[in-house]
A and B are shown apart, each in its own frame.
Chain A
Amino acid sequence: MSDQIVFLLQLVITGVAVGAVYSLMALGFVLIYKASTVVNFGPGELVLFGAYVAWATILNMKLHLAVALPLTLVVAILLGLVIERGVLRPLIGEPIISVIMVTFGFASVVRGVLNMTWGSDTRPFPALFSSQPFHLGPVPVSPVHLWSFVTVMVLLAAFSLFFKYSLIGTAMRATADNQQVAQSLGVSVKGVFALSWCIATVVSALGGIILGSVRGGVDFSLADYGLKVFPVVILGGLDSVAGVIVSGVIIGVLENLSGGYLDPIFGGGVKEVAPFVVLVLILMIRPYGLFGRKDVERV
């Protein structure tokens, strides 16, 4: 096989692996939007938060992984509850723009607190998976990418089953459809909001941990990965869980390919911009996304 094709496959594989993480993070975003029509403008900070807490528990407090990871997720759940109870619940009934702006404000606070607590230096992140590449045919694949992909797929499958089959998942879908009717059937709408924020903080934290482990370090640029949630949800449709799972991978591959082929021509930076070019194009030709409902508003 020619080097050209190996190079292409490598880009695609890495893109799929990273894109799957985007899907995971976007899942949290979509859940919040579906349940409460709140657009979370701080997805990056949720990722940062998870990554930093994981770093602090594993490397700073030197806890065993089996303790540190669950602990990180518990802290993420607490963050979700704090956001929903403390910040958003008092704003119920306020204009949607106020609610959206407050997510932006809260994200800045999270970033500030992280900076105050642990500073802005790049922190080494433990490699959760071996970095010794193995060969898939002629294509070298790093286990970190493979395992992050597998982990994400298992998580996405689990969440999909939860939404589709469990009573609580069904109640969440019902709330997204019609809050008043869901309430008349005994579903606590505030409870569903809280749950969707908690799921969002948890999947973002997981995303942060996986990305931290893939990159081998944590710093504030991790938040940029969280921002990729926007092109993913615009492509997939703001209200479609299946849509964001597919479009996360598409965005991941696309950005990697444009990075691999166009960066040398334009002298770099295309990789970072490409997803947002897609965002703009999609908004122009298909504003409700690939899988979204047509009546979704542009946000």
Chain B
Amino acid sequence: MALLALENLHLSFGGVAALAGVSLEINAGDFFAIIGPNGAGKTSIFNCISGIYAPARGRIVFDGRDITRLKPHQRAELRIARTFQNIALFRGMSVLDNVKIGRHVHLRSGVLACGLYYGRAAREEQAHRAIVEREIIDLLELQDIRHKIVGTLPYGQQKRVELARALALDPVLLLLDEPTAGMNAEETEDMVRFILYVARVKRLTVVMIEHDMGVVMDISDRVAVLDFGKKIAEGAPAQVQQDANVIKAYLGEDVEVA
């Protein structure tokens, strides 16, 4: 059974249909890429999965459970983590604080206990901090900058912090919205290396929106192509690459595919 199934999602803004009946099935352990021209509805799919948008019609089933009506924070509690197309970090906070918030869904102590910071609550806070420091910060090589204020970091590092924050949630499903957008070749290579590494080490199911065709073809198991809110192709990268519809609608007639 698929870990995540989108069934016939419809979403429109005013008269514009952002999603016109999109269905996808993503299996556990998959590295799934969604591609398509600007405005095809890729990010809208993510916003539906994480609960920011409510689809007008259709269902979202995660791990056998209908989550279509759940609130965004409840979906995060099911360990669905995401990054954003335009970096959405808490800019005034340190790297460590940003990543630490990813642990919020795992916090068991109540507000009062945390406020008074005694016994179990104190130990739990320390445990979360240790997890963040030991696993996430080290994994993504953020040790040197962990006390820096995020807003002061270069773009590539901010992208990495955002990935770290999503990982701190210890996700089952990780949604990456253009993780290498705006990066130079070297930064892209680093980022891809990190993503592949954590996906393997943490056995994540990943859904990635990406424009860089090289990246998509290299690392994804399956690719779905969207155009004007509809899925026009789906399959293995090589297969999609050859698809006449895709070449026509997305890549253009004469473009050489990387």
Contacts and interface: CB of A to CB of B under 8 A. Distances in A.
A183 B72 contact: yes
Contacts of B73: 183-189
A170 B88 contact: no
Nearest to A177: B90
A181 B50 CA distance: 10
B3 interface: no
B209 interface: no
Interface in A7-58: none
A177 B50 CA distance: 19
Contacts of B107: 167-168
Given A168-B115, A181-B84, A185-B76, A174 B101 contact: yes
B203 to A, nearest CB: 21
Given A162-B115, A186-B77, A170 B100 contact: yes
B52 interface: yes
Given A167-B128, A185-B169, A180 B93 contact: no
Interface string A149-171: 00000000000001001111011
Contacts, number: 85
Given A166-B125, A178-B90, A195-B111, A185 B117 contact: no
Interface residues on B, range: 20 to 34
B82 A167 contact: no
Interface residues of A, number: 22
B102 interface: yes
A184 B81 CA distance: 7
**Which one of A170, A174, A186 has the highest number of Cβ atoms from chain B below 10 Å of its Cβ?**
A186
A237 to B, nearest CB: 14
A166 B81 CA distance: 21
Nearest to A293: B92
A182 interface: yes
B104 A167 contact: yes
22 contacts: A167-B103, A167-B107, A167-B114, A167-B128, A168-B104, A168-B107, A170-B97, A174-B90, A177-B90, A178-B90, A180-B72, A181-B88, A181-B89, A182-B101, A183-B76, A184-B72, A184-B73, A185-B169, A186-B105, A186-B169, A187-B73, A188-B73
Interface of A: 162, 165-168, 170-171, 173-174, 177-178, 180-189, 195
